[in-house]
Amino acid sequence: MAKNLKLKAARAALDMSQQALAEKVGVSRQTINAIEKGDYNPTLNLCIEICKALGKTLDEIFWGNE
């Protein structure tokens, strides 16, 4: 699994820490870190919650051309 640099970039653009995003979507900071590092494949529901929290679409963060 590749690193999710789009997630990291979207979070950084909002000046949001991993901890803040984690609290917003109801997971641990370690989970957000693992998703960004490509060590954890989130559920579709978690992907949707992350996108809502960041104001992005699934295509912008998780799918699309890499």
Residue 3: its pLDDT value, please? Answer: 86
Residue 2: its pLDDT value, please? Answer: 75
Domains of the chain are: 5-61 (1.10.260.40)
Residue 37: its pLDDT value, please? Answer: 96
- How confident is the model over 13-54, as pLDDT tens digits? 999 999 999 999 999 999 999 999 999 999 999 999 999 999
The model carries a pTM of 0.89
The dihedral of CA 9, 11, 65, 28: what is its sign? positive
The yes-or-no verdict on residue 65 having pLDDT over 80 is no
Q: How large is the average pLDDT for residues 55-60?
A: 96
Exposure of 25 in the CB half-sphere (CA atoms within 13 A): 27
